[in-house]
Structure 1
Amino acid sequence: MSLCTRSLRGLSLWVMALLVLAASLFTGSGTANADAPKIQIQTELGYKGKLKEGKWNPLKITLTSDQDIAGDIVVQIQSYQGMGIESSYVQYVELPKDTPKEVVIGIPGGYLNKDNNQILFYEKSYTEGQPIPFDLGRNYLQSSQYSGALIAVLSDDPDTMNFMNALNGRGNSLNTVPLKAEELPDQAQLLNGLDVLVINNFASDTLSAAQQEAIAHWVSEGGTLVLSGGAGYVKSAAPFADIAPVQWTGTTTVQSLPELEKLGGKPLSLQESYTISTATPVEGAESQLEGNGNPLIVSKSQGMGQVMYAAYDLALEPVASWGGHADAWASILRGALPLVNPGGMGYYQPMLESLGYVTEYFPSLKMPSFQLLLWMLIGYAVIVGPLLYFILKKVDKREWAWLLIPALAVVASGTVYTVGSSDRTEEMAHTINVIEMDGEGSALKSSVSAFFSPRSGNYTLEFPKNTYLRAGGSSNSFGGSRLGDNNTYIRAAENETLLEFRNMPQWSLGKVYMQGQGYNEAGKLTSDIRLDAAGQIVGQVTNETKSDLENVVLVMGGKAYRMGDIKQGESAEVPQDKAQILTTNHQNLSNLLYPYTNNDVYNREREVLSMYSYSPTNIDKTSTYIFGWSKDHLTNYTRAGKEVSSDQLNFWVQPIQMGWALNEGEITIPYGFLTPEVTQVNSPIFGTYVHGVELGQGTMIMEFPLLPGDDVKYSEISIKGTRVPGVATMELWNASSGEWEPMTQQNSVHVIADNPEQYIVNNKIRIMISTSDHVNFMMPELSLKGESQHD
C-alpha cells in the first residue's frame, strides 16, 4: 500500500470520526430535547381580541408544562411605529407539572404580527441560557391596532348596550364587549384601553376588592363608568356608593319617557308601565335628563373621568331596541367615546411617544466651547510647528521630532478628550413630565425620560411599583434592529418596576416612557373667571399646586392670556393689557407663544405645547384651559438604589370652567366661549384638528352645550360660521317638530330670535353638516342672549 493511499485512508478515518462525533453531539442534543419540558402556550389579547391603539392592554398567557419548571416568560415587542421603541416584558412564573398557569402582562396597543414580536420562555431567567421552544401553541401575538371606542359591559344580559352598534352603520367605529367578572383586570392601567364601562343589573359585590379599586382609579384617570339597572340599580352600584352621582331612593313606574324620546329623535312607545329607579343627585352632580319629575341621567365628575347614573335597565324592552336609543346615548356619552377616522387615513402618534425626541435637548450635555477648542488647536499647531522646530534646532536635536511630535499628539488628543467629555462622565437623565390636573387635587402624570450612559455596558434602573414602561434603545446606534436584538427588559417586581438596558454603547441615550404614575398630591389651580358687562374675561387664578409655576397662560374664548409667573400660594389677575393677550384664530398656539429665535431658549416648551395641543386625545380639552411650567424634580428613578441626576421640565395643565355667576337680569355670551362636541360621524374620512375639521362625503352631528341650569330664558341664539364650502350644508335640529331645518348661508350667521326654546334638546343645540365631497371647514361658533331668573 502506498504512502498516499495510507494517508488518504487515514484522512478518511479522521473525517468519519468527526462525522460520528458530530452525529453524537446532535443525538445528544436530541436526547436533551426529548428530556426537556414540553410547554404549551395559549394567549388572549386585549378585550375579546381588541387591542386599543396607544393604550395599555391586558395580555393573558396560559402555560402548561409536563414537568415542574420555573423561569421567565418574555414578551418581546419590536418597534412597530418607527419610534425606536423596543421592549421585552418579563414575568417570573412557576409551572407545576400538568397544571395550567395563567399570567397577565400589560402591553401597549398597536399592530402586531409574527415579524415584530415573539414570546419566549427561559428556564430560571432570561439572563441565563437559551429559551425552551414551545411544544404547542403560537409563540407570537397577532392583532390589528384599534383606535375606535370600546364599551365594556358587566351585566346579567350580555346583549346590554348592543344597540350602540347601530352607530357603526353610520361611519362610527365602536365595539361593545361583554365581560364576566373574572375577565376584568384588577389593575387600573389595564383598564386603560376601555372608554366606557357599563355595569347594568349586575352584582358588583362579586368583584374582588382589587377589581373595585382598579375601577375607581380608572375613572379618576379619565374613564367613564355607567351605573344602571332600574330595579337592579342597587346591586350594580353597591361597591361604588362613594363615587356614585345619586342616592337611590326606590323605584317607580312611568307610562312614557318624553325627554328621552326627544333626545333620541324618534317615537318611543312604552305601551305599558315601565319600571325606573328613583334617586336624588348628590352634591356636585349634574342632572342631564329628567322624566316625570325624576332624574333619568345624572353625571358627576370624578378626577379626570366621570360616573353616570341611568334610571332604567339598559337591556329592558321596549327601550333597549328602540330606534332612537343609539342616538340618545351618543349624545349622553359625548366626549367619552373617541371619534376616529373610519377610513383609517392618516396616523396620529400618541403624545408621549411624540415627545421622545424632545428629551434629546439635554440641558446638562453641552457642546465644548468652540473658542476653547480653537485656541487649543492653534496652540498645538504652534507647539508642534515653529516652537518645537526652533527649540530642537537650538539644541541641535532635530531627530527628536520623531518621538516628540507623536507624544505631543497623544497629549493634545487626551486634553481635547478630557475637555470635551468633562460633563459626560456621570449617569444622568433628562425628563419631560406632563401633569394633567383634575382640579380637585390629583393629577394624571405621564413622563418620558432619556437616560445617558457614560460608559458601555448594562444598566438596570428602578422605578416605583405599578409604573408602566415602554423603552427604546440607544439613539446613537446605526442601522435597523432585528427581532431578537431587543436589549431592553422590563420586569414588574413585587415592590418596584425594573428596566434593564443591555449592551448600551458609550455616550448613548436610552428612552423610557412612563405611565400609571398617579399623582395624588399635585394640588390644583383655582380660578374665579367670569365675563364682565362688556363681554371681557376678568378674574384671577390661584396656584395651589406643589410648585412655583412660570409663564402661566390662560386659554379661553379663542384667546391666550399671558399671566406671568405665579408662585405657590399666590394669585394673578387675568391681564387686560392687549400686549399680554394673543388672539389664536386657530393658529398653532405654541408658535405664537414661543416663536423660533436664534437663541431658542424655549424650544422644549414650544415642542411640548405643540404635541399636547395637536394630540387627537386632547383636541376637545384644549379650548378652555390653563397651563404653566416648572423645573423641579417630580419623577425620580434610581440605579443601584442611588437616584439618577436629572434635568426636568414639567408641563402643568388643567381645564378651566367659566364661572357663570349669572345675576338676575340680561345676559350676553359672546362667540367662542361655548365649545361644540362632535357626537356622530357618517363619513369615510373624518378628523378634528386645532385648525378645523376634515370631512369626507357624508354627515357629522355636533352639539353645543348651553349655560348650566334651567334658570335662563333665551331670547336669541346666533350661530356664526354657517357658510361652509359649496358642496356642504348645515342644518339645525328642531326638537319640537323632530326635523332638521336648513340654516342661513348668505351671511354665514344664523339668528334664532323666534322661540329659541324649540331648538333646545337636553340643554343643547344640535347641528348637522352634510357634504357630497371632501371638505375642510372651521367649527361654527355660538352666541347667546337671554335673561337669568337666578336671584
Structure 2
Amino acid sequence: MKTAKCKRWLLSTCTLLLLLVWGHAHPGAIALAEGTIQLGVSVGIDGVYREEGLVPVVVTATNGGTDVEGDLMVATGNRGNNQYSVAYYQPVSIAKGATKQVTIMVPGSELDSSTYVALMEKDKIVAKAPVSGRRYSYDTLMIGVLAQSADTANFLGMLPKDTFPNDVKTVPMKPEHVPTSGAQMQMLSMLVLNNFALDSLNEQQIQAIRDWTKSGGKLVLAGGAQYRKTAGALADLSPVEVNQVTSVKTLASMKAEKTNPIGLTAPFTVSSGTLKAGNVLYSEGAIPLFAVHSVGEGKVLYAAYDLAEEPVASWAGNGRFWSDLLLKAFGSSLNDYKSSSFDRIWPLHDAADMNPALKIPEVSWFALFFGVYALIAGPILFFILRAWRKQSYMWVVVPSLSLLTGIGIFSFGAMQRGEGVLIHQTGFVQLQNDGQAKVNSVTSFFVPSSGDYRLTVKGQGQTQPVLERNRANEIPKIWAFAQSDQTEVQFRDVEFWSTRKVATEQTISDVGSFESNLSYSEGTLKGTVTNKTKFALRDLTIFSGSQLQEIPELAPGASAEVNLPFQPSAQARFGHRQSYAMQALPAHMRSFQNERTREQVMIEMLEMTGRRGNQSEIVRIVGWTNQPVVDAAVQPENAKTDSIALVTSELKVQPSKDGHVYYPTGTFDVTLAGSSVPVVDEGDGYRLEAGDITFDINLSQEGKKLAITNVYLYTWSDDNTTFAKEVYNWKTKAYDLYEKAFNNNVMTGDKAADYVSADGMLRIKFAHQLPDQRHIGIPNVSVEGKVSPL
C-alpha cells in the first residue's frame, strides 16, 4: 500500500516539475482569462473577402474585468501544427466595462481557417477568438456596391460563363466598409456607386476611392435622377459632364443576344450631359447612356440611369448586356486574374539576397589561403620541429594553428561585414506619365548580432514581411503595425549573421515622368526623350520588339535622340517564345558568364508585371538607378545602405505631321467575347475542347478618329494547333472566311470598313474539332493608319 502511494506521489511530483519547466521554457504560453475579455471578429465585408490585397479584420473587445493595456493581434501565415509566422497588430487600452473596436488590415493571402485573433498583455494571451469568413480566390471578380438598395447590382453576379468563366461575387457595402487608403481597396475588382450619398463618406474615404481608381481600379458611377448626389466630389472623374435630368421613351441601343428588347411602358428617367473625355459606348439619340474613359491606370464607367430602376433592373437580358458592356469598357483587365502582387515580385526577392556588401571572396583567394595553411601545418612545421627534435609538439601546435586560423577567418568575415546592419533594397518603378509611379520594393537587412530589430517603412501602401518556412511559432516572432503614414515590422530573436526581408507596394507622387516627342516616319521611329524624373539613370535601353537603342546615362532634365527602325508587317512573334524582358537589358549586362547579376535577375519584373498579351512591340524605356525608391530604416543599429532599382515607362508615340501613325502589338485590348465550350484561362491564351472561341479586338483610340490603312494580325498556338478562323462582318452581321478579310495576315483599309465596327471592334472566331484540349494564344494585332481629332 505504501509502495503504491509512493509511486503516485513520485508521479505527481514529476508531472508538476515537467509542467513548471515547460511553462518557463515557453514565455508566450496561453493564459486565457475566461469571461473577462470577450472578442468579436468580423473579416472582410460582412464576412466575405478575396485573397488579394489587404483585408480588414474588425475586432470588437469588451472588457468585463480590470483595465487592460496590450496588443490586439491577428496571427497569420499558418505553417501547420499551430505554427504562425506573422502577427499584424495594434496597441489597445481598454478600461473596465468598456468596449473598443479596432480594424487591423491583413494580407488576404495570409488568412485561412486557422487564423486567430488574440489580446496580448505582457507576451501572454488573455483572450483569443478564431477568424472565420467566406474566402474567394484571387481570380474572382469581386464587385463592391455602394447603393441605397442592397440588391441594386445582383444582376452582375449572374454574368454569363462564356465571357466570365471565373466566379463573380457582388458585395453590398456600407459607408463603414470603405477604408481610408486606396491601398486597402485592392480586395475589390470593381466598385459600383449608384443612388448613394457620397457625402456620407469622409474626405479620407473619398480620396481612397480616387487613389484606388487611379492605380488601376474600375469605378462605375450611376444613379439617374440621383447621379449628382452619387458622383459628388468624384464627378471630375466621370467622362460625362451631367447638366440635367430628363427621360427617354425607348432604350433601343441596349440589346442582348437571344433576349427580347427592353419594353418601356412609361418614360424612363436618365441623367443627361455632354462627353468631356473618353468614348460613348451606348446612347439614346444625343443622350450618352454609357461612356468610359481612363483615369491614371484605372477606368471610370458612367451609366445614365439608376441600376435599380425598373423595368431594366429585372430585364432578362441585363446580365448578358452588362457582360458585353463591361468588356467594352474595361477590356481584358476584367479577366486578367493574377495571384497576390507580392507573389509576382520574386525577381526582387532573389536580387535582394545579392547584397554586394556580403559578397564571398573569390575562390582563388580561398585556395591560396588554404594552400599556405596546409604548407605551414604540414611540411614546414614538420621540418622545423624535426630540426629541433620536438616532433611531439605537432599534437599541440597544429590544433592551435587550426584554432587561430578559424578565429582569423571569423574575424576577417566580421570585419568585412562591419559592426552595423547592412541594408539592401531592390526596387521596380513603373512611371504612369502623370507624375505618379507604382513602386514595388524588397528591403533586406543583414544583422551582425542576435537580438530584436525594427524596420520602419515610410509612406502609405502595403508592406508585409517576406516569410521563411523555417521560422514559425505559436505566437509569431514577426510583428507588423500599419499606421496611416508608415508601417513598422518587428523581428524578435533574430539570429546573428542572418537576414530578414520586407516587401512593399506603394504609389508615390511627384516622381516625374519621361517626356517624349516620337513619331514613325519612313520606316523609322525618330524623336527625343527627356528625363523629367527625379532619378539619375544609367544603362538605359529604348526598345520596341527586337529593335533597341542603348543610352549610357540620362541625368534628370537631360535628353537623348531616338532613332529606331521598324517594320509594320513584322509581328513580334518571338514574344511568346522567349523573354522579351532580356531585350531591354543592355548588351554588356548580358555577357556575364560566371554568375548572374542583380540586373539580370531584376529585369524579369518586366515579364511579371506586364499587361495581358504580347507587349513586346510597345515602345518602352528602361533604366537603372542606385537611389533608394522607398524610405526604409532599421533600428536600433546604424546601417549601411545599398540600393538598386529598375525604372520603366511606356513612351507615347505621336502621329507624324501628316497624321500617319503606327500602333504596335500590345496597344489594343483583346478580350474573350464568348465560347461554345468551357475554356481554361492560361494567362497568354486559352485551352479549349472541340468547339470555338471568339475574341474582340478594340481598335478605338480615346479622343481620336482612326482611318485604318492596314491591320497586321499574327495568331499562334503553344501546341501548334491549326485553328479554323472566321471574321465577323458588321454589315452582313455574319462571319466570313478569314481569307476573305485578310491576305497574308494583312487587312487593308477598304476591307476594314466591313470588318471593323463603327466603334472600332474587330471580332475573330477560332475553332478546332480535335479530340483533346488545344491552346489558342491571344492574337497579336498592330495597326497602321491616320488619326484625326473626334
Structure 1 length normalisation: TM-score?
Answer: 0.84
Equivalent residue number for residue 500 of structure 1: 490
Q: 1:510 to 1:438 in 2, by over 3 A?
A: same
Residue type of the alignment partner of 2:117: I
Distance 1:259 1:59 in 2: 44
Please say if 1:292 is aligned against 2:285. Answer: yes
Distance 1:225 1:779 in 2: 26
Q: 1:308 to 1:707 in 2, by over 3 A?
A: closer
Q: 1:441 to 1:305 in 2, by over 3 A?
A: same
Q: 1:538 to 1:789 in 2, by over 3 A?
A: same
State the shift of 1:640 in Å. 3.0
Equivalent residue number for residue 761 of structure 2: 764
Equivalent residue number for residue 564 of structure 2: 576
Q: After superposition, what is the alpha-carbon deviation per residue over 1:99-137, rounded to whole angstroms, capped at 9, x for unaligned?
A: 54322111112374445x3332212xxxx3421243xx5
State the shift of 1:600 in Å. 5.9
| Contact 1:78–1:86 (8 Å) recurs in 2 | yes
Equivalent residue number for residue 398 of structure 2: 405
Distance 2:753 2:565 in 1: 36
Equivalent residue number for residue 543 of structure 1: 531
| Contact 1:722–1:744 (8 Å) recurs in 2 | no
2:503 to 513, 532, 545: 513
Equivalent residue number for residue 478 of structure 2: 488
Residue type of the alignment partner of 1:329: L
| Contact 1:563–1:575 (8 Å) recurs in 2 | no
Distance 2:707 2:610 in 1: 35
Please say if 1:146 is aligned against 2:138. Answer: yes
State the shift of 1:204 in Å. 0.3
Residue type of the alignment partner of 1:589: Y
Q: 1:510 to 1:696 in 2, by over 3 A?
A: farther
Distance 1:727 1:317 in 2: 47
Secondary structure of the 1:301 match is strand
Equivalent residue number for residue 350 of structure 1: 343
Distance 1:542 1:423 in 2: 41
State the shift of 1:154 in Å. 0.9
| Contact 2:52–2:340 (8 Å) recurs in 1 | no
Equivalent residue number for residue 380 of structure 1: 373
Distance 1:122 1:144 in 2: 30
Distance 2:18 2:373 in 1: 64
State the shift of 1:718 in Å. 6.0
Deviates more, 1:300-309 or 1:9-18: 9-18
Residue type of the alignment partner of 1:422: M
State the shift of 1:359 in Å. 1.5
- Within 5 A, what are the aligned runs for 1:703-742? 703-709=697-703, 711-714=705-708, 719-721=713-715, 728-736=723-731, 738-742=733-737
Q: After superposition, what is the alpha-carbon deviation per residue over 1:370-423, rounded to whole angstroms, capped at 9, x for unaligned?
A: 333333323323333343344444555555444433332222222222233432
Residue type of the alignment partner of 2:151: D
State the shift of 1:203 in Å. 0.8
| Contact 2:627–2:644 (8 Å) recurs in 1 | yes
In angstroms, what is the RMSD of aligned CA positions? 4.2
Distance 2:658 2:15 in 1: 99
State the shift of 1:40 in Å. 3.1
Equivalent residue number for residue 167 of structure 1: 159
Equivalent residue number for residue 91 of structure 1: 90
Distance 1:706 1:558 in 2: 26
Secondary structure of the 1:613 match is helix
Distance 1:163 1:187 in 2: 29
2:519 to 520, 530, 533: 530
Distance 2:255 2:222 in 1: 18
Please say if 1:333 is aligned against 2:329. Answer: yes
State the shift of 1:733 in Å. 3.8
State the shift of 1:439 in Å. 0.4
1:311 to 290, 304, 313: 304
Distance 1:725 1:382 in 2: 63
Secondary structure of the 1:131 match is strand
Please say if 1:278 is aligned against 2:272. Answer: yes
Regions of 4+ moved over 6 Å: 19-25, 32-35, 262-266, 346-349, 722-727, 745-748
- Unpaired segments of 5 or more residues in structure 2? 21-29
State the shift of 1:76 in Å. 1.7
| Contact 1:168–1:174 (8 Å) recurs in 2 | no
Residue type of the alignment partner of 1:512: V
2:409 to 412, 416, 426: 416
Please say if 1:200 is aligned against 2:194. Answer: yes
State the shift of 1:440 in Å. 0.7
Equivalent residue number for residue 230 of structure 1: 224
Distance 1:302 1:240 in 2: 12
Structure 2 length normalisation: TM-score?
Answer: 0.84
Equivalent residue number for residue 25 of structure 2: none
Residue type of the alignment partner of 1:551: D
Q: After superposition, what is the alpha-carbon deviation per residue over 1:594-641, rounded to whole angstroms, capped at 9, x for unaligned?
A: 586444676333333324314476657776243322121222322336
Residue type of the alignment partner of 1:774: Q
Equivalent residue number for residue 590 of structure 1: 581
Identity level (%)? 23
Deviates more, 1:177-186 or 1:768-777: 768-777
Secondary structure of the 2:335 match is coil
Residue type of the alignment partner of 2:137: Q
Distance 1:259 1:500 in 2: 58
Q: 1:162 to 1:771 in 2, by over 3 A?
A: farther
Residue type of the alignment partner of 2:757: I
Equivalent residue number for residue 101 of structure 1: 100
